[in-house]
Structure 1
Amino acid sequence: MMPEWYQEKPLGEYENIYVVAATEKVQPKRTAAGGGITALLCYLIDNNMIDGAATSARDVEGLGGRIVVARTREEIIRTAGNEWQVLPFTNKLMETIENEDLKKVAVVGLPCQIHFIRQMKTFPLVESNFGNRVQFLISLFCYGTFAHESILNYIKEKHGMDISSIKEIKVSQKSVKFMGEKTLEIPFGELSKYIHMGCLMCPDYTGAFSDISAGNIGGKTIMIVRNKMSEEILREAEGSGYISTSKCDEETVKKIEERAVEKIKRASEYIPRLL
């Protein structure tokens, strides 16, 4: 059921894979890993390469999310962190970009969201210049996202956790960790039935249609650089003291490839079942 290129190149086309970390020039207060994405966005906005960075931010109360366009370094740092919810991303993004009259936007999203925006850039609608305003696409590694209300009801009933106390959620391929008045770590398999249906049919783990893909592997930010423009931007950001980079080791690359293949296999299994 999967196109051959998914099987042959589970990470998609790319130039290089790096471990990237923020330097002292950028000090994110709360990040999922080494702060590489935050530092790169700060470089782009400090140097007027973008006039906004669109991402999701958790609401002050609870775990709901909203679309945020950060227009300054301070706003980018405030939105740093591990976001896990699915939002009506593209509609809200288009509305926000138009309302705020943004001309050059970097978008951080999930593979499915980035794929859609890439299509908008490649095949623009006559009545909209939305795609032309998006300058840079960053995809987060994603194995699937959860139905918000269902999973919260489950951990409340099954594990007795006060969901109003949850301040942070960390999702890995092996487990989901909820941190609040106490820390609750649940095996990923126990929660897999709450994954969104569309995620089960999605074969893209890293975001093959992005300019840069990024994820937290072993507490470090791994970046897959997919084109020469992105490679040049990364080199400039490092030269300006925003980030440090090193080549990703073969063992870590193999881990990422294994996760990507697992997601492809899962999609191959579920597509004929659900269509």
Structure 2
Amino acid sequence: MKTGFSQLENLVIRRGLCTGCGSCVGVCPNGALEMTRVYSEPMPVCRDKCSECGICFRICPGSDVPLLELERYFSGRNRKSTLADLGVYRGSYVGYAGDEVIRKNGASGGVVTALLVHALEKGIIDCAIVAGFNKEKPWLTEARLAKSKNEIIDAAQSKYAVVPVNMLFREAVKRGCQRLGLVGLPCHIHAVRKMQYYGLPGDIAEKIKLTIGLFCASQFYFEGTRHILVEWCGIDNLEEIANLEYRGGEWPGHFVVKRHDGETITIDRHRYVYHMLMPNYKRDRCEMCIDWSSELADISVGDYWASPMIGVNFSGSSALLVRSLVGEELIKSAVEEKVLYLEALEPEKLCSSVGFEMKKHGAAFRLVQRQQFGWPTPNYHMKVDYTPFFRDFHMAPEKE
């Protein structure tokens, strides 16, 4: 069997298992790979001669993720049988950013932005790989390298279209970054941990110092965004768009499009997420992912809709699962310096969310069904459990 990109293409990409994370592009020692778009979705291609080193296939999270082995390696322990579906964690919290500007500009509490800025100012990281929008085509998402507070803040809020953030690994090293921070979805974090587990490529793996993983019920095809723009906003020509936000305006954030002619169009969050993207445009690979809460990250963060902090001036809060010593120390420092305001959170409450059900039960069952019929599926090297159990939904969000 040929190694290198041909192996990746045949066993992952052409079988529909590519997550669009960009890791293969970001680790290629020859810079032979790049991300293109097929049906508006990011897809890796080989533009130069492949050296057949095999690194891209080895660290790819598309078809192979030894989840429990990676977890044991990085945490030094096995997950507990109680609430095993949340992975290993040292603490569970709910909170928001102390800086009011960061809090209001964030998707839900500004926690991720605040943590990245704090890590940068403390020297824990010297740059952060984040998700942003393309400057020339503001309707398209893109990976960004943020080396300042303002650049981190500029990348705030959720992006409901694939962003291959891992494609910037080698670019970050070329630009002199020695301590990388990364914000990513579970698949992005899976690739990072595989890199560090295998030590491939060593010059990049050793420089990743902080991973913040996002809770992820699913990512969406850009086609869903295009349908919202055309069918609900009346924008046939995307060149009319001056700015697009998936979580714009006041919390909880809505689909906000500004045109070059000055007109602003707002689509209610509940309407566009639950009546367009969620039922119609979930990415197929996401429908087989069993990691909802970014189980391998240093810190996992997600919207928390049932916050005890809700009040007259509520601006959103986030749930946090602190998993590693690095994450624990960063959180402690952030709380001490009032970068974050946190309260303890019973982790059981997270299990009542829509996202938990979609990934840990729905996707897990779907994975088993597809395996039964021999369809291409990712291998997590574990027996998935989608057994129902009682949860108090009165204490959980009605939507997510």
Q: TM-score range by the shorter chain?
A: 0.7 to 0.9
Asked whether 1:225 is paired with 2:306, we answer no
Q: Which moved more, 1:246-255 or 1:81-90?
A: 246-255
After TM superposition, the score normalised by the length of structure 2 is: 0.60
Give the CA deviation at 1:74: 2.1
Superimposed CA distance per residue, residues 210-264 of structure 1 (whole angstroms, 9 cap, x where no aligned partner)? 01000112231111101233122211121123222111256743434x6324312
Residue type matched to 1:260 in 2? Answer: F
Contact 1:28 1:80 in 2 (8 A): no
Asked whether 1:138 is paired with 2:138, we answer no
Rounded Cα–Cα distance in structure 2 between residues aligned with 1:72 and 1:41: 10
1:70 counterpart (146, 157, 168)? 146
Give the CA deviation at 1:154: 2.4
Give the CA deviation at 1:187: 5.2
Residues 128 and 217 of structure 1: CA distance in aligned 2, closer, same or farther (over 3 Å): same
What is aligned with 2:23? none
1:198 counterpart (285, 291, 304)? 285
Please provide the CA RMSD for this pair: 2.9
Residues 12 and 159 of structure 1: CA distance in aligned 2, closer, same or farther (over 3 Å): same
Asked whether 1:263 is paired with 2:359, we answer yes
Superimposed CA distance per residue, residues 155-191 of structure 1 (whole angstroms, 9 cap, x where no aligned partner)? 24543532636621149xxx99522333222352643
Residue type matched to 2:92 in 1? Answer: I
Rounded Cα–Cα distance in structure 2 between residues aligned with 1:248 and 1:183: 33
Rounded Cα–Cα distance in structure 1 between residues aligned with 2:104 and 2:304: 19
2:180 counterpart (105, 111, 125)? 105
What is aligned with 1:236? 333
Q: Which runs of 5+ in 2 are unaligned?
A: 1-66, 69-78, 258-263, 306-315, 377-400
Asked whether 1:168 is paired with 2:245, we answer yes
Residue type matched to 2:287 in 1? Answer: L
Residues 229 and 26 of structure 1: CA distance in aligned 2, closer, same or farther (over 3 Å): farther
Choose between structure 1 and 2 for higher RCO, CA contacts under 8 A separated by at least 6 residues.
1
What is aligned with 2:232? 159
After TM superposition, the score normalised by the length of structure 1 is: 0.85
1:82 counterpart (158, 168, 184)? 158
Rounded Cα–Cα distance in structure 1 between residues aligned with 2:102 and 2:229: 35
What is aligned with 2:272? 186
Q: Which runs of 5+ in 1 are unaligned?
A: none
What is aligned with 1:215? 302
Contact 1:141 1:215 in 2 (8 A): yes
Rounded Cα–Cα distance in structure 2 between residues aligned with 1:93 and 1:228: 26
Rounded Cα–Cα distance in structure 1 between residues aligned with 2:169 and 2:352: 35
Q: Which moved more, 1:133-142 or 1:159-168?
A: 159-168
Q: Which moved more, 1:52-61 or 1:152-161?
A: 152-161
For residue 331 of structure 2, give the secondary structure of its aligned residue in structure 1. helix
Residues 156 and 44 of structure 1: CA distance in aligned 2, closer, same or farther (over 3 Å): closer
Q: Which moved more, 1:45-54 or 1:71-80?
A: 71-80
Give the CA deviation at 1:97: 1.8
For residue 106 of structure 1, give the secondary structure of its aligned residue in structure 2. strand
Residue type matched to 1:253 in 2? Answer: L
What is aligned with 2:125? 50
Residue type matched to 2:318 in 1? Answer: T
Rounded Cα–Cα distance in structure 2 between residues aligned with 1:63 and 1:131: 32
1:3-42 to 2 correspondences below 5 Å: 9-24=84-99, 27=102, 30-42=105-117
Aligned residues: 267
